[in-house]
Amino acid sequence: MTKNNTVTITDNRTGATYDLPILDGTVGPSVVDIRKFYAETGMFTYDPGYTSTGSCESAITYIDGDQGILLHRGYPIQDLAPNCRFLEVAYLLLNGDLPNKAEFDTFEQAITMHTMVNEQIHKFLEGFRRDSHPMAVMCGVVGGLAGFYHDQTDLSDPHHRMIASHRLIAKVPTIAAWAYKYSMGQPLMYPRNNLRYAADLLQMMFAVPCEDYVVNPVLARALDRILILHADHEQNASTSTVRLTGSSGANPFACIAAGIASLWGPAHGGANEAVLNMLEEIGTPDRVNECVKRAKDKDDPFRLMGFGHRVYKNYDPRAKIMAQTCHEVLEELDIKDPLLDVAMELERIALEDEYFVERQLYPNVDFYSGIVFRAMGIPTSMFTGMFAVARTTGWVAQWNEMFVDPAQKIGRPRQLYTGPTQRQFVPLDDR
């Protein structure tokens, strides 16, 4: 970060001027440093939804929304997704560089050794209704992990932070798979140390004790790539939630549970489930226009799920890779999913429609992911859970970065107060 220029603002009520430092990063928009703004002006800045606010300095992920660029530690997602394993990208996000073979093997082994969860987790699950949404289960169980490692989580110890990070990356897939199995009333399947990350997740979700289960390599490779596409994405809502929660020094397992809660929302990671429900509701390509009409109607709260993005005002680069993966998986499995035809027609019409063009609304990462998950036999209710499995790595990397940031303080925004000014209290008997 370099600091040499300023912006000057003038308060036209008093004529007072304020010089605010401009901070430059390595690429992308510079920032105006307003840390002293309230002390100097007596005013707060106002930015609900943080459309123009940088909350932190980060070196993990860079997004150029206008160009549709996504870099993880400088590597384009187009290079990482087809050429890496998910755990290679996890290592990159956590450590800043891609691992060599020895580093990768050590990291993969470390994660593999943490995939089992305490047997008490069985009792956690039994407390939920069988028809609980898997994200409710994941939120509760991941947060509950905080109760198992409190004596080994001295956050001032980098080694403890690293082990907590490995535990989270390793155990969230197990918890996601167990949430699914529990909802099906099937026996929980334990992780297998001879399987790689994505293959093991598929095994835990779809194997049963009565017979051997052979992981389909096409599905394992596709899932591994999809996990890469969902691993991290700058300061999105759930990552910002993890950072804000972590800024108070909260237990890392509780911080990730907070991230899961935020991701669940249909405006965020819950959109992949909402896309599938939307496509099923549309049913056939000839009914797409009706859906687009509703999405444009200001009086209708309906939005085209899987479309639009706070940052991307161009095609989400992940959506392009996801669409390609979608076609590859359906072709290799010889599946003809009519919802893919609906999705493609919806995309074609929306991208030609002035309402979407004018607002720069393009398909985002969630638009095609559900169709691929469906082809893998993953139920709609588990789509966001898959997103949470992947994003746990990004959340953990961002949490670690926050922890060692010298500028980091507890997050405590202010407000524009528009409530009543002080007034006389009237006792109940006199009201």
- How far apart CA 376 and CA 333 sit, in angstroms, is 9
Hey, what are 149's tokens?
């490692």
- State yes or no: residue 267 binds ligand SDX (CB under 6 A): yes
C-alpha dihedral (32, 33, 38, 40), degrees to nearest 10 = -100
List 161, 268, 320, 374, residue binding ligand SDX (CB under 6 A)? 268
Candidates 1-9, 13-21, 261-269, 414-422; binding stretch for ligand SDX (CB under 6 A): 261-269
- State yes or no: residue 295 binds ligand SDX (CB under 6 A): yes
Q: How far is the CB of 368 from ligand SDX (least distance, A)?
A: 12
Beta carbons within 8 Å of 263's beta carbon, 6+ residues apart: 135, 237, 238, 269, 270, 384, 387, 388, 391
Instruction: Using the minimum distance from each CB to ligand SDX, give the nearer residue, 5 or 52.
Output: 52
- Write out the binding residues for ligand SDX, residues 109-168 only, by CB under 6 A: none
3-state secondary structure 182-241: HHHCCCCCCCCCCCCHHHHHHHHHHCCCCCCCCCCHHHHHHHHHHHHHCCCCCCCHHHHH
The answer to whether residues 43 and 20 touch, using CB atoms and an 8 Å cutoff, is: no
The active-site residue out of 166, 200, 309, 353 is: 309
Using the 8-state DSSP alphabet, how is residue 167 labeled? H
Active site residue 309: yes
Candidates 126-134, 177-185, 205-213, 303-311; binding stretch for ligand SDX (CB under 6 A): 303-311
- State yes or no: residue 364 binds ligand SDX (CB under 6 A): yes
- State yes or no: residue 85 binds ligand SDX (CB under 6 A): no
List 203, 216, 236, 247, residue binding ligand SDX (CB under 6 A)? 236
- State yes or no: residue 366 binds ligand SDX (CB under 6 A): yes
Using Cβ positions, the residue closest to ligand SDX within the complex turns out to be 308
Token pair 């390595």: residue: 26
Hey, what are 392's tokens?
């746990």
Q: How far is the CB of 57 from ligand SDX (least distance, A)?
A: 18
Q: How far is the CB of 305 from ligand SDX (least distance, A)?
A: 5
- State yes or no: residue 365 binds ligand SDX (CB under 6 A): yes
How many Å from the N-terminal Cα to the C-terminal Cα in the chain?
59
- State yes or no: residue 233 binds ligand SDX (CB under 6 A): yes
3-state secondary structure 301-342: CCCCCCECCCCCCCCCHHHHHHHHHHHHHHHHCCCCCHHHHH
Catalytic (active-site) positions: 309, 366
Which residues form the interface with ligand SDX (CB under 6 A)? 49, 233, 236, 267-269, 271, 295, 303-311, 359, 361, 364-366
